[in-house]
Structure 1
């Protein structure tokens, strides 16, 4: 469901349309908030941290830069980037851009938010990469993709070729949707996405045997 919602959000904001592989079996446990956060790239991460983290899941540098392109839409909290403003400005940040951000976030612990992409904040396109080339990336995890020589060329290629970005973004999203797929008898096919079948004795057997007419694709 999350993958489908993400696909639709991308398309409705101007991004590529693509098919999402379906049929994943459901896990027997719900992922905790802490486990989810542990798998997210923090906004202060540099390119080395990003590449190392994603490599453990078989994502390469192109995948990493393409997935980061999702920051072409959305908003960021001041506390996620004010370390780049106070007490001293990050030298990789454009001065005018930094001064504008200080107006939004007058203190390091400000609770305000701002747009992730200053050129087209409500459209899914490749302008995020143009921002990076102009030293206008919001998070360290954004801007360092252009600063680091291993990913700089990929950022540039996406900035000048939106079709290429869309192609690689789709590839990376589909790859991400196929992480840790449960096969065989592992997991289950839930009758209700928010409730394990094992919590309902009537469903626990019926669903797996297809006795209540649930689609398994």
Structure 2
């Protein structure tokens, strides 16, 4: 619905996406999440600043909220992104998941089995 109803979307981008994603049909069509899928870069953040986020949840990161400043920083300063990304990967690598009977895989992620 974003490409048809949203007001915080670049009009040219919306028009391009409507060709790929018509209101009816087109369920097997693909739209790129990122214009540079073969490179690990900050194009994703640059697109958000230009109101070219593909999903509503993407564009929500740059829509007048608490994450705007971070998105803008990453769009202008790739080095800041690389540093923060590296720290995040280390932090995630240190997560110790529960195993065996210490934890559970939820049937419904919103409630304990």
> TM-score of the superposition, structure 1-length normalised?
0.42
Residue 122 of structure 1 and its aligned partner are, at CA, apart by 2.0
1:1-217 equivalences in 2 (<5 Å): 83-85=1-3, 88-109=4-25, 110-118=27-35, 120-182=36-98, 187=100
Residue 108 of structure 1 and its aligned partner are, at CA, apart by 4.7
* Counterparts in 2 of 1:108 and 1:124: CA distance versus 1, 3 Å: farther
In 1, distance between residues paired with 2:87 and 2:46? 21
**In angstroms, what is the RMSD of aligned CA positions?**
1.8
In 2, distance between residues paired with 1:144 and 1:92? 9
In 2, distance between residues paired with 1:173 and 1:181? 15
Residue 163 of structure 1 and its aligned partner are, at CA, apart by 0.9
Runs of 4+ in 1 over 3 A off after TM superposition: none
Is there any run of 5+ residues in structure 1 with no aligned partner, and where?
A: 1-82, 188-217
In 1, distance between residues paired with 2:90 and 2:57? 22
Paired residues, number = 99
Residue 169 of structure 1 and its aligned partner are, at CA, apart by 1.1
SS of 2:40's partner is coil
In 1, distance between residues paired with 2:60 and 2:13? 16
> TM-score of the superposition, structure 2-length normalised?
0.76
- Highest CA radius of gyration, 1 or 2? 1
Is there any run of 5+ residues in structure 2 with no aligned partner, and where?
A: 101-113
**More relative contact order, 1 or 2 (CA 8 Å, 6+ apart):** 1
Residue 84 of structure 1 and its aligned partner are, at CA, apart by 1.0
1:128-173 deviation digits (Å, cap 9, x = unpaired) = 1110000001111111101142000000000111011011112122
